[in-house]
Every structure is written in structure tokens, then in C-alpha cells.
Amino acid sequence: MIKYLLTIAILAGLLPGNLLAQSLEDYIRSGLKSSPLLYDIKNQKLAGKLDSLLLIAAYKPQINQISQVSYPPTGPGWGYDESITNGGNYSSVVNITKPLFIKKQISGQLQSLALISQGLKVNESITLIDLKKSITAQYITAYNDYGQNQFNHSLLDLLNDEVKTVKTLVDKGVYQLTDLMNLQVLIGAQKIMISQSYIQLTNDIALLNFICGISDPSEPRLIKPEISVRNDFSPESSPLFVQFRIDSLKNINSRHLIDLNYRPKIGIFADAGFNAIVPENIPHNMGTSFGINFSVPIYDGKQRKLQYDKINLAENTRSYLQRFYTSQYKLQHDQLANQLKLTENLINEISKQLSQQERLIALYRVELEKGLVRFLDFMAVVNSYSATQNTFLGSQMNRLQIINQMNYLK
């Protein structure tokens, strides 16, 4: 009878307002669509592609126009020496520069940008995991509130059904008036519990909407989340573990870029325009120049070794964190798996207890109509059943929360 009433309550939708059914997947889709973090990462990835184009463009021939007009005034006993200033300078040239043999430099720097892009993908994966985990956790909480509210309604219906029977037995002198008053007090308390559970439900749904970026004020009728363990629990598949591999490649690439900085550099340049010391000579001082730049590092105060030492420290830290993370990942999984096992065993025990209490309530209701049991005993059974049901709903929520943590373990 209790299960029947609870089913009817859920199907009929006893919560007030215009309710719209909405699943966990609906909320996750909304949350991912409206997430500012994911939007930011998307734009950072697009910016990374532009950085690659900027890098390639920086190594192409660079053309600049350089113009200069200078006139140092002089007078008796003051002014710059004309043998140095030539009395002035009027120049305008177009300059072209192009570094040579830069394929390895470009490749190394493009590799750096590619690793940054891979890091953004890892951040995106981590953000997705955190967002889905938080949405699922809040949905489970809200659904537990929803189930609690529905049960409170079904229990109120059960108590209301007994009012007529108790009144009849009071009129016949089988029960006392205090029994009827106790029932009415219990009904009043149940109505208060319904109001409290509804307030908690609306608060948790509001928080769920906030996380998902939903501004719709309508109240959805939540659908039971079907959540099962689907994580393969391999540290290597975790985005954090992928980040360790990327960091290792970054250290290798940084060392490669340092080596490239100590290679000889060759470039060519050319310019064309005019360069004169007086404006009248400009038409006669048109010309051009070209040449080759060559540089090779000889000594820099052992900066190369110091940079290697920094990279070695970073690699040592990365290796330590990777080992620590791997052990912590396994520890977290084992703890969650044990919690899940214990919680499922508890749920099975509570289910058996609920079945016995429901059969007992059914027997009490039959004997209550005949006046064969004390009404206070019936009330005690109902209160005990209510407490067990609350424990059952809480345990079910805990089970789903544990599975949620396992599925999004990182």
C-alpha cells in the first residue's frame, strides 16, 4: 500500500507549480553550453593558432621604412662639431632583413606552441570533468530532495486516510478523543515537513540552475538519474596524467631551444633610399646597400648551464608529482570502491527493513479498523517507517554521489 501511494504521488506530480520534466543530461548540456571557462579555453585555442601564424610571419622578410631628419644648430662659440654632425642628416631608406637557416628555430618554437595547445586541451578536459561532476552532484542532491518531498506527500495521504476510521472508532468509544487529536497533530507536523522539504528542493534546484547558467524560473520535475560506474580507473587516461607527459615534452623542447640559441646566426639585409647632409644633395645621394649579418656566442657567464639546471629541477619536480599522483589516484579509487560496497550493503539491509515495516503497517491498518491495536502503537510504527525511509533516501543519494566521484576521478 505504501509503495502504491508513493508511486501515485510521483506519477501525479504533487509538487505545486507548472512542472517540466528535465533529466541530468539536459542539465549537463546546458551547463557545458553556458560555461564561461569553456568559452575562454575555446578562444585561447583559437589564439594559439594565431600565435603560430605570427611566429611564421616573424621569420619572413621584414620590410621597414626608416626616415630621419636632423639639424644641429650652431653659432659663434657654441654647437656640435660639424666634422661629427656633417651639419645635418636627411635620410629615408626602405630596409629589408631576412634571417637564414632558421628551419630548426621555427620548428622548435612551433613545437612550444603545439605543447601549449595540448595543455589547453588538457585544461578543457579537466574543466569538463569538474563541471560535469559538480552538476551531477547537485542534481543528485536536488533529486534526493524531490524524492523526500514525494515521500512526505505519500505519508500525509496515508495519515489522512486514517482520519475517518479513527473518528468512527472514537464515536464508538473504542478509541479516545486524544487518539484523534494525536493523529491530527501528526498530520500537522507532516504538512510542516512537506513545506520544509519543498523549500530545500527549490533552493537546491535554484543552485543547480545557477551552476548550469539556467535562468528559467519554472520548476522541473526531476528524472531519476541512471548513474553507473564507467571509469576504467587507469591513471594514464586521466587528463592530469596527460599533463605530466606534456610537461616532460616541454622540458625536452626547452633544452632544445636553449641549444639553438647557441648556434651561429646568419642573416641578410638590404636597403635603398637617400642619405644626405643637406637637402639640396638629396637627388644626388640616392643609393642602396646590402650585406650579411653573422653572430656566434662565445661566452655568456655560464647562462647555458644555469638554464639546464633549472630545467633539471623542473623535470625532477614533475617526476615526483607524477609518482605521487599515481599512488594517490589508486588510493582514492580503493577508498571510494570500499565506500560504495559498504553503502550498497547498507541499502540492501534498509530495503529489507522497509519491507518488514510496510507489511507491519498494512497489518496495523487492518487491525486499526477493528480497534484491535492501540493507536499510539500505530503512530510509533509510522514514525519508525518514516525515519527508515529517510535513511534509505539518504543512503541512495550517498551511493550516487560515490559513483559520481568515481566516474570523474582525476
DSSP assignments along 209-222, one per residue = HHHHT----SEEEE
Phi, psi for residue 287 in degrees, rounded to 5: -170, -170
Query: Parallel, antiparallel, or unpaired: how do β-strands 19-22 and 62-70 relate?
Result: unpaired
Q: With a threshold of 0.85, does the pTM exceed it?
A: no
CATH number of 64-101+264-296, picked from 3.30.310.40, 3.40.1080.20, 3.40.30.10, 2.20.200.10: 2.20.200.10
Copy the grid coordinates of residue 107: 620548428
| Separation of alpha carbons 165 and 329, rounded Å | 59
Q: What's the pLDDT score for residue 14?
A: 36
Strand ranges for 138-250 from DSSP E:
219-222
Mind listing the pLDDT tens digit for each residue in 147-197? 999 999 999 999 999 888 889 888 888 888 988 899 999 999 999 999 999
Least confident window among 2-16, 28-42, 218-232: 2-16
- Residue partners of 136: CB distance under 8 A and separation at least 6: 24, 28, 225, 227, 404, 407, 408
For the stretch 108-125, pLDDT in tens is 999 999 999 999 999 999
Measure the CA–CA gap between 179 and 378, rounded to whole angstroms: 11
Q: Are 153 and 195 in contact (CB under 8 A)?
A: no
Q: Which three cell numbers stand for residue 282?
A: 638629396
- Report how far Cα 375 is from the mean position of its chain's Cα atoms: 54
The stretch 345-371 carries a mean pLDDT of: 92
CA distances from 181 to 166, 185, 367, 375, 385 (A): 10, 6, 20, 11, 21
End-to-end Cα spacing for the chain: 45
Mean pLDDT value across residues 274-282: 81
CATH 2.20.200.10 domain span(s) along the chain: 64-101+264-296
Q: Is the pLDDT of residue 24 over 80?
A: yes
Residue ranges of the chain assigned to CATH 1.20.1600.10: 2-59+102-262+300-407
Looking at domain 2-59+102-262+300-407, its CATH class is mainly alpha
- Partners of 289 in the beta sheet? 271
